[in-house]
A and B are shown apart, each in its own frame.
Chain A
Amino acid sequence: MLVLLGIAVLVVGFLLRFNPLPVILTAALVTGMAGGLSLTETLAAFGKAFNDNRYISIVWLVLPVIGLLERSGLQEQARALIAKMARVTAGRLLLAYFVARQITAALGQTKLGGHPQMVRPLVAPMAEAAAETHHGDLPDVTRFRIRAHAAAADNIALFFGEDIFIAIASILLIKGFLEQNGIVLQPLELSVWAIPTAVVALLVHGTRLLLLDRRIAREVRNDEGRGGIVEVSEPQS
């Protein structure tokens, strides 16, 4: 039971809104020592695992490319391209990205999307531009909501697409776990059962993305109402 103290540290740390880095370090030390390791043993285990997981941070390699393209006008060009397409709305654009991301993930190509590579330089600015084409300048709350939805579409499409592919890590983990317990299954027998959830996810999130357009329109209308009052008190020269 004592080993659960680490989870308590995490929960309290998040609730008190401390910086997560020292909270996670404390949680690791508390858990290891509650589990019977010494301080240096825990620190060594934590350090080894950090070193073994360096591949997770490889994704930052793309930042020099993305930065170079941003300074050369990538986001502006992405916006200009979308502004020419009158029928594209923020919700429809995100839905199109969602479908493409879900299909490619189902074919095993999980690296085709992602936040540093696709969402920040392309998807989010394009969705913002689509909303601006229809509504003009956006209130901040709407702009940030669209950006958050761009990231959310990437995550949700990935999660409910990738398990349809037979060689994805989670399917192999399930296969390995069941084998250890004497149940032998082929990856394909597992991955077909990810399809029903994937279809419902497309319906649920697709509907939400189309409703996002109405919400954007409503927020812009409400904001214009407020803007009108400001103009009365501060007439333009």
Chain B
Amino acid sequence: MITLTWVYILAGLIFMAFAWTSLTDAENPGRLKNAAFWGLMAISFLFGNYLGDLGNGLLLVGLVLIGGIGGLGQGRPATTSPEERQSLAARFGNKLFIPALIIPATALLGTLVLARIDIGGRPLFDAKDPTLIALGLGVLLALVVGAVLFRPPATAPLQEGRRLMDAVGWAAILPQMLAALGAVFALAGVGQVVGGLVADIIPMNGPLIAVVAYCLGMALFTFIMGNAFAAFPVMTAAIGLPFVILQFDGDPAIVCAIGMLSGFCGTLLTPMAANFNVVPANLLELPDRNAAFNGVIRAQAPTAIAMLGVNIVLMYLLAFRF
């Protein structure tokens, strides 16, 4: 059976290659730091389950010290010039889109088809994570097709991958690290304290104020945590369930569905939602990518704020009627 562990090994090997090619990059003055950073990521993916909890904690401290103090360098692997790319684009034409579309197509096919295949009574894919396994498979398939179609030098995928990885830099571990912070918050009971605080401060003397407090609370706590999933159980237990649903008789399906969407408005506004708001700013090389409210967040803000208002109105109009 193909499990997520196989994909982790593939990721570990790729990070290992990023570390090795960084180490031998004479153009990058920060090459030792880059090699150490991507090397630690390789260790995490290859051996994370054998390091023990404290070992993983220390590995994370190592990543923070290397990536967080002084930052990483930008590797300069040899790549094609803009002029060469123009002529390559003219030569290969729309064939260039084939490998790019193989990845989502395989993810789709893997989730819908491969996840249901049994071989001798055993499933081909671990049913828990069919999409991530299919993503790994899609990457391998796209690399093979790309190599056949475009005949690049053998090390090109790893060198080009490292060029993009260095453009993302230390922000690459932000999403994973923020998820881990959420787990520590949950362990320490941060959610209960915040929920209790909000419920204590705001007088719930009518359905409108309860709806407004719940939706704003979802958005605000999501803003802090960077994740509506962390905010939902806390705010719903503190306000949504006792007040909007039980005291004022709101429909639970409507209250919870729109409450979650109010949280998503907070996600669109916060630098804590690194994979949605910080990583793309790095990938697109925006000049303000290190600002707290970068260009991506500012592009999203008007829609996010408008939608928060829309969600409040919709919940108030719908929840007490159905």
Contacts and interface: CB of A to CB of B under 8 A. Distances in A.
The reply to whether chain A is a binding partner of chain B is yes
Interface of B: 4, 7-8, 10-11, 14-15, 41, 44-45, 48-49, 51-61, 63-65, 67-69, 71, 79-80, 82, 85-94, 96-97, 99-100, 103-104, 107-108, 111, 129, 131-132, 135-136, 139, 142-143, 146-147, 150, 152, 156-165, 168, 170, 172-185, 187-190, 193-194, 224, 228-229, 232-233, 236, 241, 252-254, 256-258, 260-261, 264, 267-268, 271-272, 274-277, 279-281, 283-284, 286-288, 290-292, 294-296, 298-300, 302-304, 306-307, 310-311, 314, 318
Given A27-B181, A155-B268, A174 B257 contact: yes
A190 B253 CA distance: 5
A67 B77 CA distance: 11
24 contacts: A21-B64, A28-B184, A32-B187, A35-B187, A43-B57, A44-B53, A46-B57, A47-B60, A51-B49, A53-B180, A54-B11, A61-B7, A65-B157, A68-B156, A71-B160, A74-B97, A77-B89, A115-B280, A117-B104, A148-B294, A159-B261, A160-B264, A173-B260, A174-B257
A37 B188 contact: yes
Contact of B295 (A7, A42, A59, A148): A148
B170 A21 contact: yes
A65 B97 CA distance: 11
Contact of B129 (A1, A55, A73): A55
A191 B298 contact: no
B64 A63 contact: no
A6 B299 contact: no
Contact of B184 (A36, A49, A150, A169): A49
A159 B267 contact: yes
A60 to B, nearest CB: 6
A227 interface: no
Given A19-B69, A56-B175, A61 B181 contact: no
Contacts of A44: 52-54, 56-57
Contacts, number: 421
B88 A73 contact: yes
A107 to B, nearest CB: 10
Interface residues of A, number: 113
A45 B184 contact: yes
A25 B64 contact: yes
Interface stretch (A130-138, A199-207, A216-224): A199-207
Nearest to A4: B193
Contact of B89 (A22, A45, A73): A73
B161 A72 contact: no
A88 interface: no
A4 B163 contact: no
A71 B80 contact: yes
Given A77-B94, A120-B283, A155-B300, A56 B179 contact: yes
A139 interface: no
A150 B85 contact: no
A229 interface: no
Nearest to B177: A24
B61 A43 contact: yes
B157 A144 contact: no
Contacts of A208: 302-303
Given A151-B281, A163-B260, A77 B296 contact: no
Nearest to A15: B292
A178 interface: yes
Contacts of B311: 197
Q: Report the 4 A-B pairs with minimum CB-CB distance, sorted nearest first.
A: A67-B160, A35-B188, A47-B57, A73-B89
Nearest to B264: A159
Interface in A147-203: 147-152, 154-156, 159-160, 163, 169-171, 173-174, 177-178, 181, 183, 185, 189-191, 193-194, 196-197, 200-201
